Amino acid sequence: MCIEVILVSSEPLTKEILASLGSGALAIAVRPEAVRDWRYLLQALVYAYALKGPARDSRISALMYLTQQDSIESAVATTSPLGLSEYVVAVYGKREEVEKALKSLPRGLPYYPERDFDPWLITNFALKRLT
């Protein structure tokens, strides 16, 4: 399994581009300010990929883990980059699936911000969701 995180600066993100992301791999697009540290993004993707919840759509689950929101609407509203010309795309899965998912996007720069990181923050949220 691997993860790629890129910052894309191009035309505004549309629903069509967003829908074309990920074929086999778990891919999400978020606002750059939604990612304090890339490891939070990795945790959110891993939990959504492995636990298949809390939402039916793994991409929505990843956003819920990333924002630690119980509400789908709140998680999407906080992170949605629709209409923005700069956004972060994170893809998690097998190497071939990740490469295939990224082919449809303009090539962005690697994006791995490192700020304060609490490894238990998302883990605690995930554990609460399971109980």
The dihedral over CA atoms of 47, 50, 55, 60, expressed in degrees to the nearest 10, equals: 60
* pLDDT the model gives residue 45: 92
Which pTM value belongs to this model?
0.84
Residue 112, domain extent: 2-126
Evaluate whether residue 112 is within a structural domain.
yes
Handedness of CA 116, 117, 120, 125 (dihedral sign): positive
- Structural domains in the chain (count): 1
Evaluate whether residue 131 is within a structural domain.
no
User: What is the chain's mean pLDDT, rounded?
Assistant: 86
The string of pLDDT tens digits covering residues 41-63 is 999 999 998 887 788 889 999 99
Handedness of CA 70, 72, 78, 80 (dihedral sign): positive
CATH number at residue 49: 3.30.2380.10
The string of pLDDT tens digits covering residues 24-33 is 889 999 999 9
The string of pLDDT tens digits covering residues 102-127 is 887 777 788 888 888 888 888 888 88
**What span, in angstroms and rounded, lies between the C-alpha atoms of 103 and 51?**
27
